[in-house]
Amino acid sequence: MNLEFTPEEQAFRDEVRTFIEENYPKHLADFGMREDMEREDFLAWHKILGKKGWSVPAWPVEYGGTDWTPTQRYIWSEENARASTVMPLPFGVSMVGPVIYTFGNAEQKARHLPGIVSGDVWWCQGYSEPGAGSDLASLKTTAVRDGDHYVINGQKTWTTLAQHADWGFFLCRTDPSAKAQEGISFILIDMKTPGVEVKPIKLLDGGYEVNETWLTDVRVPVENLVGVENKGWTYAKFLLAHERSGIAGVARSKRGVEKLREIAANETLDGAPLIKDFDFARKVSQLEIDLAALEITELRTLAGEQAGKGPGPESSILKIKGTEIQQRLTELTLEAVGTYGAPLYGNIANVPGDAGSNQYPVGPDYAHHAAATYFNMRKTSIYGGSNEIQRNIITKMILGL
Amino acid sequence: MDFNFTEEQDMVRDGLSRMVREQYDWETRRKAIASDAGWRPEVWAQLAELGILGMPFSEADGGFGGGAVDAMVIMEEFGKGLVVEPFLPTVVCAGGFLKHGGTAAQKEEHIGGIVAGSSVFAFAYAEPRGRFDYADLETTAKKDGSGYVLNGHKAVVVGAPWATHLIVTARTGGERRDRDGVSVFVVAKDAAGIVTRDYETVDGRRAAEVYFENVSVPAEALIGGEGAGLGLIELVTDEAIAALCAEACGAMKVAHAMTVEYSRQRKQFGVPIGKFQVLQHRMVDMYTAYEQSVSLTYLATLRLGASETERKRAVSAAKVGVGQAARLIGQDAVQIHGGNGVTDEYAIGHYFKRLTIFDAEFGNVDHHMKRHIALA
């Protein structure tokens, strides 16, 4: 038992760090992820990694993945967090991709996987509905067979960044008479198909990260069904477990704590740096301790995966603790910036004379997005199966109650 | 990076687990801690026979070549069974002082006895007014010829009633609370001038107030340099904290499992109370706190050999996190057991007691939070 990286792993870290330094787009440097970016900015790093062969490291090599060990993938995520890169979005890479290569047929793999690897095709997720949130299996969108097509009708919601999407993966009810979980199918839809309509939803941070997606008599060829008709729930659950395993965001949170310390060293309280205030320092230390524990918990889970165990119900712990820490981090960051958390900024970063802004920026740069980020991150304990649903999963799968 | 245990470590765990299950059942433990002796020397002899007492010593020192990870494995099993025998003060604390600070002669004299089970140690460091500061000492060791004379009062010395030897901290110079001037001695408990008042602790162990009244010790009793003992004490107590955290993890694991099982059996409103979501989610939070504690215990254990700052930060992080988890799991386990949880008859209350007392050992949550902040 040890926590040391091997010389090979150190060399790997040097290699990826150098690659990031030399190839990451300069105009996106230290930018993080922002929902108001242009489509091309979202995809820029993804496309560079696609050419390098590093865009889908967790996939099997035959579909464009790498043979990296879980430790190497961990190093990869740490180095990207260190440089605050805009990483490939999860909808293709971590969600529909693994479903297609695990349950799809040869034509589907050949048609869809290369676009995910290269970053040319943008995917979105059609799961939640206005009446089906935590009780996802109660979804009502229907797909009715008509010759070689399904005719799909219904409404999806919280469709993240669907305004940019080329394709979507949707859960639709194909057997209305079956029990809730047993009549659902997993269907791929070209978002340009007539009858697909995407309407933005404005969120607390002022941005348009999610959408309502309306489906009205959308005709989809039957070859877009993944796997077996009415078995979609199995694939949906498989996908959710994959989604959760990357959801802890440990490396990003570690970088966030460093930034929080920088802010708190710059802010003053009673003439001294805020970070020297015991009450505030205690909150930061508590966050660091929780994060240190989560980091080892994630590494233990990765080690389990390396030993051949897939992402299991333990990934629910990573989801709960990871999102609690992400939220606490943004909460403390907002607290650290003090009253400069209040001014409302536009979606475009304000710089003097910026045509996209109708107000002069006030306060330090690090304060501009503190409130918006805090508001935005409230989503994390709600999405991907709310943290209460994760507790239900652990109750059933681990405690056996 | 590797989270696997060696085959030997797995064997030690299995062997100890069997021994605790077969010979440390609840009724036997209850009788033993209520007996005059308060422990079972035959259990100690068996631990020596199994090689447990020699595990963390190098082969050159007469041990079996294990280390901190072995101590972690052992302490976790002891935690599961609420074992009271003094492995921590004898093997981890006294053993640690001898390993890191002992002369060849001191190792020769004492390690063999520890490994064989014939020497039992207690660690006399705390004082009535010193709280968690190892340098806040009123006990003095004054130079007398080539040796020293000890005077002072040591508080709540766990395992002292069973001990043949004591490790004692005392001031040989400097002012109270100075970092310099702290020294460490090894003393036979039957040395002239040592007076003890033995008592039971609330978590089923034995301890004593130990008074030193003009106790003469030879120069050879000094471990490490005169007046330069604080760094050594910090290292050994950090090792002790990592081991204690492992013990707490074992106790938390059992307390949680007992609680889940109880919620399956206990019926109210016509259903097992484990069907109520409000209790399910509390038990999930207990489980998560336990898993996070295991992670922090690994972190502390695997950082014991790192730089001083890294080691102290990891150990303090563990003592804070595990301390908080021990409080949560202990209290919630009792709550979910309802009235039965506050009876002496049910085992859960005894796990609660051990997990409660754990917090203040070698510094509580607040103390280690301060140390963590100071090292940021």
Query: CB of B264 within 8 Å of any CB in chain A?
Result: yes
Q: CA A139 to CA A73: how far, in whole Å?
A: 35
Provide the sign of the torsion angle of the four alpha carbons A126, A132, A138, A140, taken in this order: negative
- Enumerate the residues of chain B whose CB falls inside 8 A of the CB of residue A288: 317, 372, 376
Residue B103 is predicted with a pLDDT of 97
Q: CA A19 to CA A388: how far, in whole Å?
A: 40
| Best of B3, B5, B266, B328 to mutate (most A CBs within 10 Å, chain A) | B3
Give the burial string for A64-83 (b: 16+ CB within 10 Å, else e). bbbebbbbbbbbbbbbbbeb
Cβ-defined contact of A297 to B295 (cutoff 8 Å): yes
Q: CA B33 to CA B40: how far, in whole Å?
A: 9
**Residues A184-197: tens digit of each pLDDT:** 999 999 999 999 99
Cβ-defined contact of A303 to B263 (cutoff 8 Å): no
Give the residue with greater pLDDT, A29 vs B316: B316
pLDDT at A311 > cutoff 60: yes
Supply B258's token pair. 């007992």
Cβ-defined contact of A395 to B295 (cutoff 8 Å): no
- Enumerate the residues of chain A whose CB falls inside 8 A of the CB of residue B295: 292-297, 300
Comparing C-alpha atoms, which of B80, B84, B83 is closest to residue B251?
B80
As a whole number of Å, the CA-based R_g of chain A is 22
Q: Number of H helices and number of E strands within chain B?
A: 12, 10
A21 is catalytic: no
Q: CA A265 to CA A276: how far, in whole Å?
A: 8
Residue A200 is predicted with a pLDDT of 94
Query: CB of B320 within 8 Å of any CB in chain A?
Result: yes
- One-letter amino acid for residue A349 of the chain: A
pLDDT at A355 > cutoff 50: no
Which residue in chain B is spatially nearest to A399 when comparing CA positions?
B260
Query: Residue A291 CB: number of other CB atoms within 10 A?
Result: 23
Mean pLDDT on A280-286: 98
Query: CB of B192 within 8 Å of any CB in chain A?
Result: no
Cβ-defined contact of A292 to B376 (cutoff 8 Å): no
* DSSP letters spanning A270-316: TTEEGGGSHHHHHHHHHHHHHHHHHHHHHHHHHHHHHTT--S-TTHH
Distance between A386 CA and the closest CA of chain B, angstroms: 13
Please name the member of B4, B260, B299 whose beta carbon is closest to the beta carbon of A296. B299
Cβ pair B201, B79 in contact under 8 A: no
Q: Which segments within A326-377 are labelled E, that is strand? A: none
The number of CA neighbours under 13 Å toward the Cβ of A70 is 19
CB pairs under 8 A between A and B: 114
pLDDT at A348 > cutoff 70: no
- Enumerate the residues of chain A whose CB falls inside 8 A of the CB of residue B373: 278, 281-282, 285
Please name the member of A71, A294, A399 whose beta carbon is closest to the beta carbon of B292. A294
**Choice among A78, A129, A209, A243 that is catalytic:** A243
DSSP β-bridge partners for residue B371: none
Distance between A134 CA and the closest CA of chain B, angstroms: 15
Range of weakest confidence among A166-175, A376-385, B134-143: A376-385
Q: Which helix (H) or strand (E) holds A154?
A: strand A149-157
Residue B300 is predicted with a pLDDT of 98
- Enumerate the residues of chain B whose CB falls inside 8 A of the CB of residue A296: 295-296, 298-299
- One-letter amino acid for residue A125 of the chain: Q
Q: Which residues contact A209 (CB under 8 A, 6 or more apart)?
A: A35, A160, A161, A203, A376
Which residue in chain B is spatially nearest to A8 when comparing CA positions?
B1
Please name the member of B263, B284, B372 whose beta carbon is closest to the beta carbon of A391. B284
Comparing C-alpha atoms, which of B184, B198, B335 is closest to residue B259?
B335
Q: Which residues contact A328 (CB under 8 A, 6 or more apart)?
A: A287, A290
Cβ-defined contact of A296 to B264 (cutoff 8 Å): no
**Residues A133-146: tens digit of each pLDDT:** 999 999 999 999 99
Assign A327 a pLDDT band (cuts: 50, 70, 90). Answer: very high
Residue A102 is predicted with a pLDDT of 96
pLDDT at A113 > cutoff 90: yes
Q: Which residue has the tokens 């002022």?
A: A206
Distance between B281 CA and the closest CA of chain A, angstroms: 6
Q: Which residues contact A258 (CB under 8 A, 6 or more apart)?
A: none
Pairing between β-strand B121-124 and β-strand B165-171 as defined by DSSP bridges: parallel
Residue A368 is predicted with a pLDDT of 86
Query: CB of B321 within 8 Å of any CB in chain A?
Result: yes
- Compute φ and ψ for A350, nearest 5 degrees: -85, 125
B214-233 residues touching A, CB cutoff 8 A: none
Q: Which residue has the tokens 């010593």?
A: B57
Supply B260's token pair. 């889940």
Q: Which helix (H) or strand (E) holds A151?
A: strand A149-157
Distance between B201 CA and the closest CA of chain A, angstroms: 31
DSSP β-bridge partners for residue A151: A144, A219
Assign A31 a pLDDT band (cuts: 50, 70, 90). Answer: low
Query: CB of B99 within 8 Å of any CB in chain A?
Result: no
CA end-to-end distance (rounded Å), chain B = 24
Q: Number of H helices and number of E strands within chain A?
A: 12, 10
Q: CA B273 to CA B335: how far, in whole Å?
A: 12
Cβ pair B299, B242 in contact under 8 A: no
Residue A352 is predicted with a pLDDT of 44
Using a CB–CB cut-off of 8 Å, the residues of A that contact B are 1-5, 9, 71, 261, 275, 278, 281-282, 284-286, 288-290, 292-297, 299-300, 303, 314, 317, 320-321, 388, 391-392, 394-395, 398-401
Please name the member of A1, A292, A394 whose beta carbon is closest to the beta carbon of B287. A394
Residue A32 is predicted with a pLDDT of 61
Assign A71 a pLDDT band (cuts: 50, 70, 90). Answer: confident
| Best of A4, A8, A277, A285 to mutate (most B CBs within 10 Å, chain B) | A285
- Enumerate the residues of chain A whose CB falls inside 8 A of the CB of residue B2: 1-2, 303
Q: CA B180 to CA A168: how far, in whole Å?
A: 68
Q: CA A401 to CA B263: how far, in whole Å?
A: 9
Cβ-defined contact of A2 to B321 (cutoff 8 Å): no
Cβ-defined contact of A293 to B264 (cutoff 8 Å): no
User: Whole-model pTM?
Assistant: 0.95
Residues of chain B with pLDDT under 70: none
Residue A239 is predicted with a pLDDT of 84
Question: What proportion of chain A, given as a percentage, has pLDDT over 70?
Answer: 93
Residue A350 is predicted with a pLDDT of 39
Q: Which residue has the tokens 């026979």?
A: B49
Comparing C-alpha atoms, which of A340, A345, A335 is closest to residue A364?
A340
Cβ-defined contact of B369 to A5 (cutoff 8 Å): no
Distance between A206 CA and the closest CA of chain B, angstroms: 34
Cβ-defined contact of B292 to A290 (cutoff 8 Å): yes
Assign A358 a pLDDT band (cuts: 50, 70, 90). Answer: very low
Cβ-defined contact of A401 to B264 (cutoff 8 Å): yes
Query: CB of B67 within 8 Å of any CB in chain A?
Result: no
